[in-house]
């Protein structure tokens, strides 16, 4: 708040700058370094006076422009910005890249084109010839990119980090060029580069000896390329998620390699059985983080083999079949686990889990999402033994009775993240959980037993709360929200979707949370434009808003939103009473990138067309399929050429269920 003061009161101008002039530029820069929490703070600083503007411009190291059209001015204003993130620009052409190359030249260090489209290999080549100092390049999602573009990338001789995720058209040849060209690579991500096989990866491993981190997820590679990977001297992180071509032969190879490996992810490698994964662990003695999610069953043999990994800190077994003996063996083997994830593991029992936690009292993060067999026995063990727990996720542990949640609050005071979605927790439980004063993420979605009373306790004592999820927790009406809004000023994300009884009063109290960035109030029919206006006026940082099915929100809510929420990126307007006028007013939000506009009764084709044309920065729009026929095709072609993608939906209008009905239906699904 202090920082805003000079902006508000520039009255003592005569002496102010003089005093400030005494500070050297370095000192001011150091001060500015601390202004990184909130981008608006920097803006406020630069608006103070001309010298502050100049200082801030020189200090800025990274830029993330919203439109490529503004690149020339932005680059001229911030001469020190060596890192450029163009992922928000809907359209980045070769000309834009040429502008970057001309303005920055060898000074450019990092470039993010991960969501950009419309540039070609020629543009990259131009960039490569002028920006020889580039260290980091992100070309993810360039699905059209071919080997010729990869060959252009190979011209960045000093590149250290390269991300090519989902560049599906690149083949071994292209990756071969990169391997030969970029010898200093330390990080390479080839995730989903489906055209790259053993040969390309093998060549990378042979030529780029400096590699620290290698992501080969979902590549059609086999065991053949693994020996050369294992010879990489500095390799620390290896991701082999979903590599179906790798089978039990691989661990034999892994055995003799990679002493430096610290992180290994072999999730969804369906062809590695427990035999394979048991012997993997022979080689990598320094392994700290191991992920074997969605793989073979966790049996005694597999778990026992973890014994060799003396440095192991975290273990992820999400979605695996887990046996009790396996869990016990994990308990006996790994001595120093601080993180354990058993999310969606079938076969987790009270017996196994209780034994495991008796051996791992150091656990800080535990994920037992959807472990539906466990009861209060496990919770009692976990809470009493792992007092240092900072994160506990236990969505849908349906057999845990409400009394067990009291234990969590009584014993685990270090908790920072707690996910109780779809559980039996009640007000007593919340009252106890309120003692976890460090709590920053609290998820209470689909908890039908909680009411305002319980939530009030949270609001009174969990002042550090950043994220609160009350999705479909219909017992919440307003008082609880009010208490939370009062007690948790740092809230950034709030979800009260389908809490039918929420009114404008709740939103008005929530508007006190100045840092609010994401607000979801789906299906709250009592909320009107008035409440939304309060949010818009006070929460200037709001970037994501979901007001789907808030049928009482109309144009009167959109106008303040358009006026004040200049940081809004994403909005869902479906099923509201917004009409052409409201939609058109939203177009004045220059940041707006994504809109979902389904079933707006008051929307006419011409109104929609006008709004779409007026919103220059749109990248994604979800529309009713009927508009596709009604509006002229050239309009969509034009918008697509601007970088906007359309998603056509043909959903039938559905009546909303009462949350309790919904839950019952959900239980029907289960039984």
- Interacting residues toward another protein by CB under 8 A: 120-122, 125-126, 129, 141, 144-149, 151-152, 154-155, 166, 169, 171-174, 176-177, 180-181, 192, 195, 199-200, 202-203, 206-207, 321, 343-344, 346, 369-370, 395-396, 421-422, 445-446, 471, 625-626, 629, 647-648, 650-652, 662, 665-666, 668-671
Q: How far is the CB of 619 from another protein (least distance, A)?
A: 12
Nearer to another protein, 319 or 409 (CB): 319
Q: How far is the CB of 476 from another protein (least distance, A)?
A: 17
Nearer to another protein, 252 or 321 (CB): 321
Tokens of 439: 């709590």
Distances (CA, A) of 607 to 587, 601, 631, 641: 12, 12, 11, 20
Positive or negative torsion for Cα 259, 261, 262, 264: negative
Nearer to another protein, 95 or 530 (CB): 95
Nearer to another protein, 135 or 370 (CB): 370
Q: How far is the CB of 522 from another protein (least distance, A)?
A: 12
Count other C-beta atoms under 10 Å from residue 350's C-beta.
Answer: 19
Q: How far is the CB of 220 from another protein (least distance, A)?
A: 11
Q: How far is the CB of 68 from another protein (least distance, A)?
A: 19
Contact 185, 212 (CB under 8 A): no
Q: DSSP labels for 195-257? A: T--HHHHHHHHHH-TT--EEE-TT----GGGHHHHHT-TT--EEE-TT-TT--TTHHHHHHT-
Nearer to another protein, 435 or 622 (CB): 622
Distances (CA, A) of 51 to 54, 509, 528: 5, 39, 44
Quickly tell me which residue has 């969505």 as its tokens.
395
Contact 149, 117 (CB under 8 A): no
For residue 554, which of 520, 531, 570 has the smallest C-alpha distance? 531
Pairing relationship of beta strands 620-624 and 594-597 according to DSSP bridges: parallel
Q: DSSP labels for 63-95? A: E--S-GGGHHHHHHH-TT--EEE-TT-S---HH
Nearer to another protein, 207 or 540 (CB): 207
Nearer to another protein, 205 or 246 (CB): 205
Angle at 179 between CA 175 and CA 183, to 5 degrees: 155
SS (H, E, C) 428-490: HHHHHHCCCCCCCEEECCCCCCCCHHHHHHHHHHCCCCCEEECCCCCCCCCHHHHHHHHHCCC
Q: How far is the CB of 396 from another protein (least distance, A)?
A: 5
Nearer to another protein, 251 or 659 (CB): 659
Contact 503, 528 (CB under 8 A): no
Positive or negative torsion for Cα 311, 315, 320, 321: positive
Nearer to another protein, 206 or 252 (CB): 206
Nearer to another protein, 520 or 554 (CB): 520
Q: How far is the CB of 389 from another protein (least distance, A)?
A: 20
Task: Quote the CA–CA distance of 64 and 590 in Å, as a whole number.
Answer: 14
Overall residue count recorded for the chain in this entry? 671
Nearer to another protein, 32 or 179 (CB): 179
Nearer to another protein, 160 or 395 (CB): 395
Q: How far is the CB of 43 from another protein (least distance, A)?
A: 28
Q: How far is the CB of 231 from another protein (least distance, A)?
A: 12
Q: How far is the CB of 156 from another protein (least distance, A)?
A: 13
Give the N- to C-terminal CA distance of the chain in Å, as an integer: 53
Q: How far is the CB of 160 from another protein (least distance, A)?
A: 19
> CB within 8 A of 252, min separation 6: which ones?
279
Q: How far is the CB of 395 from another protein (least distance, A)?
A: 6
Angle at 558 between CA 557 and CA 561, to 5 degrees: 95
């Amino acid at each position: 708040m202090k920082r805003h003061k000079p902006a508000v009161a520039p009255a003592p101008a005569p002496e102010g700058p003089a005093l400030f002039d005494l500070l050297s530029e370095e000192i001011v820069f150091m001060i500015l370094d601390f202004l990184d929490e909130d981008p608006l703070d920097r803006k406020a600083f630069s608006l103070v006076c001309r010298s502050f503007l100049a200082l801030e411009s020189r200090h800025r190291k990274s830029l993330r422009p919203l439109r490529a059209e503004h690149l020339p001015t932005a680059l001229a204003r911030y001469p020190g910005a060596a890192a450029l993130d163009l992922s928000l620009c809907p359209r980045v052409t070769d000309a834009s890249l040429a502008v970057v190359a001309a303005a920055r030249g060898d000074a450019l260090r990092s470039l993010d084109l991960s969501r950009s489209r419309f540039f070609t290999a020629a543009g990259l080549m131009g960039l490569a010839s002028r920006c020889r100092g580039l260290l980091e390049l992100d070309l993810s999602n360039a699905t059209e990119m071919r080997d010729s573009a990869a060959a252009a990338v190979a011209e960045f001789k000093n590149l250290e980090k390269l991300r090519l995720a989902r560049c599906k058209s690149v083949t071994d040849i292209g990756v071969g060029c990169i391997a030969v060209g970029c010898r200093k690579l330390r990080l390479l991500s080839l995730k989903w580069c489906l055209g790259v096989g053993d040969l390309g990866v093998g060549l990378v491993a042979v030529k780029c000896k400096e590699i620290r981190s290698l992501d080969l997820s979902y590549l059609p590679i086999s065991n053949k390329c693994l020996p050369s990977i294992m010879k990489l001297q500095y390799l620390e992180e290896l991701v082999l998620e979903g590599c179906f071509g790798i089978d039990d032969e691989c661990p034999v190879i892994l055995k003799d390699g990679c002493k430096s490996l610290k992180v290994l992810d072999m999730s969804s490698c369906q062809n590695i059985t427990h035999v394979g994964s048991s012997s993997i662990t022979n080689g990598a003695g320094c392994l700290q983080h191991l992920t074997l999610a969605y793989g073979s069953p966790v049996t005694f043999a597999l778990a026992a083999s973890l014994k060799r990994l003396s440095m192991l800190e975290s273990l992820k077994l999400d979605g695996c079949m887990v046996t009790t003996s396996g869990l016990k063996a994990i308990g006996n083997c790994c001595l120093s686990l601080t993180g354990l994830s058993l999310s969606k593991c079938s076969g987790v029992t009270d017996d196994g889990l209780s034994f495991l936690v008796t051996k791992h009292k150091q656990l800080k993060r535990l994920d037992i999402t959807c472990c539906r067999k466990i009861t209060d026995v496990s919770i009692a063990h976990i809470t009493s033994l792992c007092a240092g727990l900072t994160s506990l996720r236990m969505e849908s542990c349906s057999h845990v009775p409400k009394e067990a949640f009291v234990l969590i609050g009584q014993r685990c005071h270090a908790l920072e993240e707690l996910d109780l979605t779809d559980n039996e927790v009640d007000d007593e439980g919340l009252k106890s959980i309120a003692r976890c004063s460090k709590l920053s993420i609290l998820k209470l979605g689909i908890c039908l037993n909680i009411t305002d009373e319980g939530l009030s306790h949270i609001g009174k004592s969990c002042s550090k709360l950043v994220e609160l999820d009350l999705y479909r927790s219909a017992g919440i009406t307003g008082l609880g929200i009010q208490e939370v809004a009062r007690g948790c000023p740092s809230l950034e994300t709030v979800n009260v979707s389908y809490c039918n009884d929420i009114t404008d009063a709740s939103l008005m109290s929530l508007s006190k949370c100045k840092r609010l960035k994401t607000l979801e109030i789906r299906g709250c029919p009592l909320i009107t434009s008035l409440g939304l206006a309060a949010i818009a006026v006070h929460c200037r940082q709001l970037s994501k808003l979901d007001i789907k099915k808030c049928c009482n929100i109309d144009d009167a809510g959109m106008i303040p939103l358009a006026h004040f929420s200049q940081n809004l990126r994403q909005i869902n307007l479906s099923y509201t009473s917004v009409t052409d006028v409201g939609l058109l007013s939203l177009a004045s939000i220059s940041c707006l990138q994504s809109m979902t506009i389904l079933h707006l009764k008051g929307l006419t084709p011409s109104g929609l067309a006008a709004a779409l044309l007026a919103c220059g920065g749109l990248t994604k729009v979800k529309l009713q399929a009927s508009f596709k026929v009604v509006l002229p095709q050239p309009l969509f072609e034009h918008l697509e050429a601007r970088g906007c993608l359309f998603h056509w939906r043909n959903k039938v209008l559905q009546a909303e269920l009462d949350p309790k009905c919904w839950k019952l239906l959900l239980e029907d699904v289960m039984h």
